[in-house]
């Protein structure tokens, strides 16, 4: 099961900041928080990831609380093209030698950017 | 375009038929993943390859499903004796050793 909980949907006015929350209260010390988004009929697209510190790239900013139990993805100036489902994922480590990191997706937040 | 490529984009088949999907990962990526996604749900992990070795399989992957990555490059996912419950989007992703996943656009399977 996914280690994250997100609101099922949010609206945001075009040009305003979109703040998408995520709870991950059971995150372990070495587990990263990843954000992906999925636009209709396409595969998920990587946005950003972080461990402890806040991160920023050309797409978004990621704010992680000091206790790491929650985070917020910020799209600074939302456009209509940002309408998508946003997934917050705690990347779980390999559970055995030869295993892989596990990206377990929940149901995400459906963000609708309004004109 | 040097992203992950999946073919076909859409597949319609009759129940009981076999289907095969292909995934071409980003060329330098040694890790390849298959996921399945049904309507309204997030992608679910199916299986994982490191080079040509299939190292992990989900319990979701029944014995009607088989995946291969013969030379550590492209991969195929075959479903035998398809059932209506197999209707879903099948997504492929690739990555470097511990890096982020890059997804393809998926193959949408409809079983009639």
Q: pLDDT by residue (tens digit) across A58-89? A: 999 999 999 999 999 999 999 999 999 999 99
- Helix/strand/coil percentages in chain B, nearest 5: 5, 50, 45
Give the per-residue pLDDT at B98.
Answer: 65
| CB-based contact B106 A49, cutoff 8 Å | no
pLDDT band, residue A28 (cuts 50/70/90):
confident
- The yes-or-no verdict on residue B30 having pLDDT over 60 is yes
B-chain residues near A36 (CB < 8 A): 101
Q: How many CB pairs under 8 A join A and B?
A: 49
* Phi, psi angles (nearest 5°) of residue B72: 70, 15
pLDDT band with cut points at 50, 70 and 90 for residue B32 = very high
- Residue pair B22/B75 in contact (Cβ under 8 Å)? The answer is yes
Share of chain B above pLDDT 90, in %: 80
Pairwise CA distance, residues B73 & B48, whole Å? 13
Q: How many helices (H) and strands (E) does chain B have?
A: 0, 11
Res. B1 pLDDT band, cuts 50 70 90 = low
Q: Do A98 and B104 touch (CB under 8 A)?
A: no
Residue A33 gets the label, from left (phi > 0), alpha (psi -120 to 50) or beta, of beta
- Mean pLDDT on A6-24: 97
Q: Which of A23-27, A61-65, B47-51 has the highest mean pLDDT?
A: A61-65
Would you give the distance in Å from CA B49 to the centre of its chain? 11
Pairing of strands B10-13, B107-111: parallel
Residue B22's pLDDT is what?
98
| CA-to-CA dists, residue B80 to A73, A86, B16, B37, B51, angstroms | 41, 33, 7, 18, 24
Q: Shortest Cα distance from B106 to chain A (angstroms)? A: 6
- Tokens at A36, concatenated: 């992906």
Nearest-CA distance B64 → chain A (Å): 23
Q: In this predicted structure, what is the pLDDT of residue A46? A: 95
With cut-offs at 50, 70 and 90, classify the pLDDT of residue A101: confident
């Amino acid at each position: 099961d996914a280690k994250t909980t997100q609101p099922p949907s949010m609206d945001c006015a075009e040009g305003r900041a979109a703040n998408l929350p995520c709870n991950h209260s059971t995150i372990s010390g070495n587990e990263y928080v990843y954000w992906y988004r999925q636009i209709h009929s396409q595969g998920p697209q990587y946005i950003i990831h972080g461990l402890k510190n806040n991160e920023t790239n050309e797409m978004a900013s990621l704010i992680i609380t000091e206790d790491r139990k929650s985070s917020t993805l910020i799209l600074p100036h939302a456009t209509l093209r940002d309408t998508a489902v946003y997934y917050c994922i705690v990347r779980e480590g390999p559970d055995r030698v030869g295993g892989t990191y596990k990206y377990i997706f929940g149901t995400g937040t459906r963000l609708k950017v309004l004109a | 375009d040097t992203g992950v490529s999946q073919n076909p984009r859409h597949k319609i088949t009759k129940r009981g038929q076999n289907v095969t999907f292909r995934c071409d990962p980003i060329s330098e990526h040694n890790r390849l993943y298959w996921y399945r996604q049904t309507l309204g749900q997030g992608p679910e992990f199916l299986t994982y390859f490191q080079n040509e070795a299939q190292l992990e399989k989900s319990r979701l992957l029944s014995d009607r499903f088989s995946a291969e990555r013969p030379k550590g490059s492209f991969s195929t996912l075959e479903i035998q004796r398809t059932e209506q419950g197999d209707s879903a989007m099948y997504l492929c992703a690739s990555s470097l050793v511990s890096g982020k996943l890059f997804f393809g656009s998926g193959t949408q399977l409809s079983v009639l």
